Structure 1
Amino acid sequence: MRLHGIRRRGVRLMLAGVLAGVLLPAAATQAEAAAARTYTVWQWNVAGNAIHGGSTTDGMVDQAAASVVNRDADFAGFNELCQGQYNALVSELRAKGWPADPQNFARFEPSRQAGNSSVCHGEAFGNGLFSKRPLGAAARITLPDDGTAEKRNLLCAPLADGTATRFCTTHITTNQSFNVAQLDSVRQKLEGYHTAGETVLIAGDFNAQPHYGRLNSFYAPSLDVPNYSNNTGAYRELDDNDTGNCLGYGEWTADGTPDATPPCGGKAKIDLIFARESALAGPYSEDSLAISTSCTGVPACSDHRIVIGTVTVN
């Protein structure tokens, strides 16, 4: 009887061990997803067709890849990127040893398909995203049509590491009426990811300045400073706490004349990096870099600045 009891206890212990082996990975995954982690997000509208004409040899690709690596970015978003430039960036970043998985770190989605010789020498043109860590399957969401030849999109991809972290990039139309519709479409998709338990970081050219009313549905009410008192959203832009430049607004990002004067004067800020306020688990900050004039054959490497943000999230 005693021996029989020992065997039974042994069976129970073995079963407990098996169950623990089944349950521990799920518990570990949940703990990993909940743990605070810090990411650096890098964003640039490169004007790949308008300024570079699709060139991969005038210095823009080299400078972009070097900046991503030198700034130790975790994610990088590109707008107005030609397919050939995207391919060259994949090669450059691989050669520099930036991605942990050289075969699974980049995604591209055209907003103009290949075949139009007046754009990128006939190549596709659109948004690209890159990740230091391996990526899962990308989501490619077409935004409300503004009636032009360019079909704007939201490009997102999750990390494959079990942290439920997703990175997105987008380039919103300049048409004000459709700008609103596209912003709403992007925001609804971000909220859908949040409801599904994901932490999303989004960077891109929103063609809307922080003080525009159409971004009130993005910014959280906790951003309550002059010029920013009617917010109804759930997000913080990583430069909205910049007291050294323009509190609530941040540093300018785009050359040229803005369609509405920024609250602190100067040029426009339309390249933005957002994180959901409920996901914040520590400090955040953002800077925009001076536009390089080192590209050959053009006065400047873009009409947009590179924007770099760092954030700690759950």
Structure 2
Amino acid sequence: MGGAVAAPAAAVTATYDAWTWNVAGWKMHRGSTTDGLITALANSIRNRDSDFAALNELCWSQYKAVQSNLRGSGWPQDVENFSRFEPHNDTACGGEPFGLAIFSRAPLGAANRYALAEDGSSERRKLLCAPLEARPHLRFCTTHITPSNDVINGEKINETQLGEVLARVEAFHAAGDTVIIAGDFNAQPHYGRLNPWYAPSLDVANNSGNTGAYRELDDTDSRCVGYGETTVADGNTEGLCGQGKKIDLIFVREDRLAGAYDGDSLSIATSCGGPCSDHRILIGTVTVSVTA
């Protein structure tokens, strides 16, 4: 007689609101925590009822200021365990670290921190992830892919980094996890280097030739189906459908979707003595299946 066959793992269905913003924390703010940026982004996280938030191009002092603002507002359920930071450079913000961060309304488990292939710059790009403490098979990640097209070790470095990030999130999937990944991918949805990400079910004029397993939460936007809405500053015209580029993305694996999803980009706040960033905030809502 054969051995007993293990029952498949039980799954739960849950809906999450994700939020991501490249804040140009040094480029436009020089690390300031008092010029309106912290208030603008913390208010947006609260006002959008976000469950997860990802920040790119953030200085360490700004990270601590966001942490303090959200902690003081009652936004997180556990004020001591709701955020993680990972530097791209230890001194690029006037001598302090510069990098990316994630925040969660619910307590987080131990972070996963991965360095990506070097692009020849002073930054070491990263992938930062963390699971929910109470639901460890739900994992939120952020990354900021290099804009460089330089060929390093026989491949364009942005393609190499995208492949490394995809391999990591696919490994999480193979281990039973549901991953929501948000960040600045420095690639427009119709670019060939994102074909290994997007699922073949997305096959429209604005986005075809896909071979992957993921959907981007803004890819059904009727204004530009398959592409979505611009996420860069007004005035840019390099995107599809007569708009600016879309390079900030929120991906979820298609086989983890358990209902409708949608995304939207928000106009850039001007409460920082001018525009608060050269990127728009991207938000998305998704219902997913998660191993219990």
Residue 261 of structure 1: how far off its partner (Å): 3.6
Q: Which among 229, 244, 247 is matched to residue 270 of structure 1?
A: 247
1:240 aligns with 2:219: yes
Per-residue Cα deviation, 1:235-292 (whole angstroms, up to 9, x for no partner) = 000000111x10000100012776x942312210000000000000000000100001
Would the aligned equivalents of 1:61 and 1:88 in 2 still touch at CA under 8 Å?
Answer: yes
Taking structure 1 as reference, are residues 257 and 151 closer, same or farther at Cα in structure 2, changes over 3 Å only? farther
Aligned-partner Cα distance in 1 for 2:214–2:272: 35
What letter corresponds to residue 226 of structure 2 in structure 1? G
Per-residue Cα deviation, 1:43-62 (whole angstroms, up to 9, x for no partner) = 00000000000000001011
Aligned-partner Cα distance in 2 for 1:111–1:168: 15
Aligned-partner Cα distance in 2 for 1:93–1:239: 26
Q: Which among 88, 99, 116 is matched to residue 65 of structure 2?
A: 88
Aligned-partner Cα distance in 2 for 1:163–1:123: 32
Taking structure 1 as reference, are residues 181 and 257 closer, same or farther at Cα in structure 2, changes over 3 Å only? farther
What letter corresponds to residue 278 of structure 2 in structure 1? D
Taking structure 1 as reference, are residues 256 and 290 closer, same or farther at Cα in structure 2, changes over 3 Å only? closer
Aligned-partner Cα distance in 2 for 1:143–1:213: 20
Matched residue of 1:84: which SS? helix
Partner of 2:152: none
Aligned-partner Cα distance in 2 for 1:256–1:63: 18
1:300 aligns with 2:279: no
What letter corresponds to residue 208 of structure 1 in structure 2? A
Partner of 1:281: 258
TM-score, reference length from structure 2: 0.92
Would the aligned equivalents of 1:109 and 1:155 in 2 still touch at CA under 8 Å?
Answer: yes
1:230 aligns with 2:209: yes
What letter corresponds to residue 150 of structure 1 in structure 2? E
Aligned-partner Cα distance in 2 for 1:194–1:171: 20
Pairs aligned (count): 276
Tell me which protein shows more helix as a share of its residues: 1
Per-residue Cα deviation, 1:172-196 (whole angstroms, up to 9, x for no partner) = 0010221110000000001000000
Matched residue of 1:35: which SS? strand
Structural mapping, 1:163-312, within 5 Å: 163-176=136-149, 177-243=156-222, 245-255=223-233, 261-296=238-273, 299-312=274-287
Aligned-partner Cα distance in 1 for 2:262–2:89: 33
Aligned CA RMSD, in angstroms, stands at 1.4
1:77 aligns with 2:81: no
1:125 aligns with 2:104: no
Greater Rg over alpha carbons, structure: 1
Tell me which protein shows more strand as a share of its residues: 2
Structure 1: state its 5+ residue gaps: 1-26
Q: Answer with 161-170 or 47-56: which moved more.
A: 161-170
Q: Which among 161, 166, 182 is matched to residue 134 of structure 2?
A: 161
Aligned-partner Cα distance in 1 for 2:17–2:252: 12
Per-residue Cα deviation, 1:65-84 (whole angstroms, up to 9, x for no partner) = 11101111000000000000
Partner of 1:51: 28
Would the aligned equivalents of 1:257 and 1:268 in 2 still touch at CA under 8 Å?
Answer: no
Aligned-partner Cα distance in 2 for 1:188–1:285: 25
